[in-house]
């Protein structure tokens, strides 16, 4: 077996806010073996770029010199040393980049795409939904204009947050406005509508907001309740039959189990770049399958994350739909990969090449290397789509 001999950790970004605020920077891992095989991984940022970058250096101390094929062993070795791993996004995110890069290398060495190493494909393509398409949308007409443009691109589904600058609490004025936005899109497009709450409401307000929208039968409602208020979510479930999705902030497959056994979720959204990598996301999906729950992987950062996630989409039986920001990234992020996957008429396809199947554009890496923190707008949280946190 070849050993991991060289590791390079790189932050990429562009001065000024030209992307979704939470992904204006990305962290890339370039890992090389003693045989000269290169693998790439990615870690998320979300106002945590520099802490995750530093934690990637800690993971390096475990992975460097290890046999690259021993993916599970290497992950468990870091788990042993990282005392706060199951609840530390810095640790799980850093680890994810190494795990993904390891799969990339192993696939290249074996001459197989990663999905073949996960049991093979159960589908040829993955249905996508567009996100990040509604910059500066506040009124129903603004949302509708942009949504029609997305429909013309071939997408069959969109996700959006209609709640403006409401946080924690929402009144009847806010729910009426949100309903008008959703109703306008429902009546004037053929798109599946996925409603993003961003985990912004406490229990009573989440119930109020969900009840205002549920008769419109959205495809799902994502994170209606603050993520640390599980009892509020349980109370909401007794009041509503709306399909609930969550999981981007669940950092370990075992931490999904309480949601399954208490029937608190219909669709889970593990993020391959913060749950611990491809295998942890795959195992979380298998646990969900046992409860008859579908999977719609969270995917908000960069193209290496997208490529890794697509291998799961094609291999996971209970996959249902895939998030995509690809069309709405700044140009540098769109150009980071020369190939690997495509999105056509609302569906993702993979290249079928070994490993992740991607080719990284080294010129983009050199041009956009940075060590800056993400930009921040004190009037608008980093987790919203730009220009929407308004009355």
**Active site (catalytic) residues:** 198, 298
Tell me the angle at which helices 89-110 and 49-63 cross, rounded to the nearest 10 degrees: 50
The CB-side HSE value for 1 (13 A sphere, CA atoms) comes to 12
Among 345, 340, 352, which Cα is nearest to 327's?
345
In whole angstroms, give the CA distance from residue 276 to residue 282.
10
Contact 71, 99 (CB under 8 A): yes
Two structure tokens written together for 101: 């890069």
In whole angstroms, give the CA distance from residue 181 to residue 162.
7
Label residue 49 left, alpha or beta by phi (over 0 means left) and psi (-120 to 50 means alpha).
alpha
Q: What is the CA radius of gyration of the chain?
A: 20
Burial 194-224 (b: 16+ CB within 10 A, else e): bbbbbbbbebebbbbbbebbbeeebbbbbbb
Q: 236: burial class by Cβ within 10 Å (0-12, 13-18, 19+)? A: buried
Among 69, 65, 53, which Cα is nearest to 5's?
65
């Amino acid at each position: 077996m070849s050993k991991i001999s060289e590791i390079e950790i790189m932050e990429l970004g562009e001065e000024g806010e030209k992307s979704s605020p939470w992904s204006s920077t990305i962290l890339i891992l370039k890992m090389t073996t003693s045989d000269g095989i290169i693998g790439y991984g990615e870690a998320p940022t979300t106002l945590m770029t520099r802490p995750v970058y530093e934690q990637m250096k800690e993971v390096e101390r475990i992975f460097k010199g290890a046999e690259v094929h021993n993916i599970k062993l290497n992950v468990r070795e870091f788990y042993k040393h990282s005392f706060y791993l199951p609840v530390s996004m810095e640790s799980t995110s850093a680890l994810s980049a190494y795990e993904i890069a390891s799969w990339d290398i192993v696939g290249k060495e074996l001459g197989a795409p990663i999905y073949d190493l996960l049991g093979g494909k159960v589908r040829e393509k993955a249905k996508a939904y567009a996100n990040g398409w509604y910059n500066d949308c506040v009124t129903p007409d603004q949302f509708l204009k942009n949504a029609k443009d997305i429909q013309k691109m071939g997408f069959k589904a969109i996700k959006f947050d209609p709640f403006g600058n409401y946080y924690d609490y929402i009144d009847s004025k806010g729910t009426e406005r949100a309903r008008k936005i959703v109703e306008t899109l429902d009546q004037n497009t053929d798109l599946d509508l996925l409603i993003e709450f961003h985990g912004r409401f406490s229990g009573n307000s989440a119930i109020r907001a969900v009840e205002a929208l549920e008769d419109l039968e959205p495809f799902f409602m994502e994170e209606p309740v603050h993520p640390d208020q599980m009892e509020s979510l349980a109370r909401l479930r007794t009041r509503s039959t709306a399909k609930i999705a969550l999981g981007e902030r669940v950092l370990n497959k075992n931490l999904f189990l309480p949601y399954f056994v208490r029937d608190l979720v219909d669709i889970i959204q593990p993020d391959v770049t913060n749950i611990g990598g491809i295998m942890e996301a795959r195992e979380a999906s298998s646990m969900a399958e046992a409860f008859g729950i579908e999977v719609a992987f969270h995917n908000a950062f960069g193209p290496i994350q997208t490529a890794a996630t697509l291998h799961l989409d094609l291999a996971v039986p209970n996959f249902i739909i895939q998030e995509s920001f690809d069309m709405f990234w700044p140009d540098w992020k769109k150009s980071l990969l020369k190939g690997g996957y495509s999105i056509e008429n609302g569906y993702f396809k993979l290249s079928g090449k070994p490993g992740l199947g991607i080719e990284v554009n080294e010129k983009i890496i050199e041009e956009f290397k940075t060590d800056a923190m993400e930009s921040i707008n004190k009037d608008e949280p980093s987790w919203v789509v730009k220009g929407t946190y308004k009355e």
